[in-house]
């Protein structure tokens, strides 16, 4: 069983920064892609950013493009989300997800992912 654990959530003021991290502590194999998603109360889960772990190609939602950066460490087992210029509308629970098996489809949707973390809350408020 692949288990993901997210860290780094909390409260931050508008315009501030926060970095989330996600690890797969008990998995020694490779992943195909990993992503960050978020879900605010009453809204559907949406993709924030995802990365193809083999080549590092990263993709972003328009709402965060230019503000945030998804990255992985050298082991490709820890995923990061550097969030800058945070806005109140970024308030949500943030989830890390991983897909192990390669796919010809996109990794840009929740349906692409096989494993999910429990999420970490980010609240942007003055």
Q: What pLDDT, on a 0 to 100 scale, did the predictor assign at position 27?
A: 85
Q: Let me know how long the chain is.
A: 126
> What's 53's DSSP letter?
T
Strand partners, 34: 51, 98
Q: pLDDT at residue 10 above 80?
A: yes
Q: 53 falls in which pLDDT band (50, 70, 90)?
A: very high
Q: pLDDT at residue 88 above 80?
A: yes
Region 26-49 average pLDDT: 94
Q: Closest by alpha carbon to 119, among 97, 80, 92, 93?
A: 93
Q: What pLDDT, on a 0 to 100 scale, did the predictor assign at position 28?
A: 83
Mean pLDDT of the chain: 95
Torsion angle of C-alpha atoms 61, 6, 107, 38, degrees rounded to 10: -40
Residue 27 or 20, more confident: 20
Q: 38 falls in which pLDDT band (50, 70, 90)?
A: very high
List CB contacts of 36: < 8 A, sequence separation 6 or more. 20, 22, 47, 48, 49, 50, 70, 79, 81, 94, 95, 96, 97
Quick one: how far is CA 96 from the chain centroid? 4
Q: pLDDT at residue 25 above 90?
A: no
């Amino acid at each position: 069983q692949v288990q993901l654990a997210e860290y780094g959530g909390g409260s931050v003021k508008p315009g501030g920064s926060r970095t989330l991290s996600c690890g797969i502590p008990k998995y020694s194999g490779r992943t195909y892609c990993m992503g960050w998603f978020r879900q605010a109360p009453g809204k559907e889960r949406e993709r924030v950013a995802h990365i193809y772990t083999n080549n590092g190609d990263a993709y972003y939602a328009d709402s965060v493009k230019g503000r945030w950066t998804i990255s992985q460490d050298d082991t490709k087992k820890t995923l990061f989300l550097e969030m800058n210029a945070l806005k109140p509308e970024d308030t949500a629970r943030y989830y890390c997800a991983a897909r192990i098996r390669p796919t010809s489809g996109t990794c840009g949707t929740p349906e692409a992912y096989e494993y999910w973390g429990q999420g970490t809350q980010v609240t942007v408020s003055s």
